[in-house]
Amino acid sequence: MQTAAIAKLKAGLSGYLESVRAGEQVVVTDRGRPIALIVPIDPNISEDQRRAELVAKGLVRPARGPITADLFEGAAVPGLTSERALQAVREGREDRV
């Protein structure tokens, strides 16, 4: 099992994913605290089986129909421009440094 800080993982993502393909697990840390685990997917389990397992665990809900354009109606924030959204994202990143 490998451990990688977020910055190290981002810089060497391809190498870590190659390790996962080979069967290893990677623990992702943020300031030394584990926050995620990257594990290989069992190739013997179908996508339908994986989806059913996630549903059984309550992690996802099955779709109730196709996604239509009206799903996104009303999702926009009045007065929010792309510039203001980008500024908010950048400010959020500065808070984490």
- For the 1-61 domain, the top CATH level (class) is alpha beta
- Partnered with residue 36 across adjacent β-strands are 28
- Return the number of other C-beta atoms located less than 10 Å from residue 64's C-beta: 5
pLDDT tens track, the chain, 97 positions: 999 999 999 999 999 999 999 999 999 999 999 999 999 999 899 999 999 999 999 999 998 899 888 887 777 788 888 898 899 899 888 766 5
Q: Which of 51, 49, 50, 46 shows the shortest CA–CA distance to 63? A: 51
């069967």: which residue's tokens? Answer: 23
Question: Strand 26-30 to strand 2-5: parallel, antiparallel, or no bridges (unpaired)?
Answer: parallel
Q: Which amino acid is at 87?
A: Q
Reading phi first (left if > 0) and then psi (alpha if -120 to 50, else beta), residue 79 is in left
Half-sphere exposure for 56 (CA within 13 Å, toward CB)? 6
